Amino acid sequence: MKTFKREHRYFDSVKYFDEETAPDWLTSVNTVPGSTMDSRWFWNDYILTLEVGESRDTDFQKITRLT
Protein backbone atom coordinates (compact mmCIF):
# COMPACT_ATOMS: atom_id res chain seq x y z
CA MET A 1 0.00 0.00 0.00
CA LYS A 2 1.38 3.40 -1.00
CA THR A 3 1.39 6.09 1.69
CA PHE A 4 1.61 9.85 1.22
CA LYS A 5 2.12 13.08 3.14
CA ARG A 6 0.11 16.16 2.23
CA GLU A 7 1.52 19.53 3.30
CA HIS A 8 -0.41 22.75 2.85
CA ARG A 9 1.79 25.25 1.03
CA TYR A 10 0.54 28.33 2.90
CA PHE A 11 -0.70 27.11 6.27
CA ASP A 12 0.91 24.90 8.90
CA SER A 13 -0.98 21.71 8.12
CA VAL A 14 0.34 18.20 7.46
CA LYS A 15 -1.85 15.14 6.87
CA TYR A 16 -1.02 11.56 6.01
CA PHE A 17 -3.05 9.18 3.85
CA ASP A 18 -2.79 6.03 1.80
CA GLU A 19 -4.46 4.80 -1.38
CA GLU A 20 -7.65 3.92 0.51
CA THR A 21 -7.92 7.02 2.70
CA ALA A 22 -6.99 9.67 0.11
CA PRO A 23 -9.24 12.75 0.14
CA ASP A 24 -12.16 12.81 -2.31
CA TRP A 25 -10.97 16.06 -3.90
CA LEU A 26 -7.80 14.24 -4.95
CA THR A 27 -9.26 10.92 -6.13
CA SER A 28 -12.50 12.37 -7.58
CA VAL A 29 -14.29 9.26 -6.34
CA ASN A 30 -17.55 11.22 -5.88
CA THR A 31 -17.52 13.04 -9.21
CA VAL A 32 -18.98 12.20 -12.60
CA PRO A 33 -16.24 10.83 -14.88
CA GLY A 34 -15.40 13.41 -17.54
CA SER A 35 -17.03 16.30 -15.69
CA THR A 36 -15.21 19.56 -15.05
CA MET A 37 -14.60 18.47 -11.44
CA ASP A 38 -13.16 15.08 -12.44
CA SER A 39 -9.49 15.11 -11.41
CA ARG A 40 -8.95 11.36 -11.33
CA TRP A 41 -6.41 11.82 -14.16
CA PHE A 42 -4.22 13.72 -11.68
CA TRP A 43 -4.59 11.01 -9.02
CA ASN A 44 -4.01 8.09 -11.41
CA ASP A 45 -1.32 9.60 -13.66
CA TYR A 46 0.58 11.96 -11.35
CA ILE A 47 0.14 10.87 -7.72
CA LEU A 48 -0.08 7.08 -7.89
CA THR A 49 2.95 7.00 -10.22
CA LEU A 50 5.22 8.86 -7.78
CA GLU A 51 8.30 6.97 -6.65
CA VAL A 52 9.15 6.92 -2.92
CA GLY A 53 10.48 10.37 -1.97
CA GLU A 54 9.07 12.16 -5.03
CA SER A 55 6.46 14.89 -4.68
CA ARG A 56 3.99 16.90 -6.72
CA ASP A 57 2.65 20.37 -6.04
CA THR A 58 -0.93 21.48 -6.49
CA ASP A 59 -2.12 25.04 -6.05
CA PHE A 60 -2.32 24.61 -2.29
CA GLN A 61 -0.74 21.26 -1.41
CA LYS A 62 2.55 19.42 -1.73
CA ILE A 63 2.01 15.66 -1.91
CA THR A 64 4.97 13.38 -1.20
CA ARG A 65 5.05 9.60 -1.49
CA LEU A 66 6.43 8.01 1.69
CA THR A 67 6.23 4.26 0.97
What was the pLDDT predicted at 39? 87
What was the pLDDT predicted at 36? 85
What was the pLDDT predicted at 30? 87
Query: Mean pLDDT of successive 10-residue segments in the chain (67 residues)?
Result: 97 97 92 89 96 96 98
Give the torsion sign (CA, 39, 41, 46, 48). Answer: positive
Tally of CA atoms within 13 A in the half-sphere of 59 that contains its CB:
2
Q: Model's pTM, two decimal places?
A: 0.89
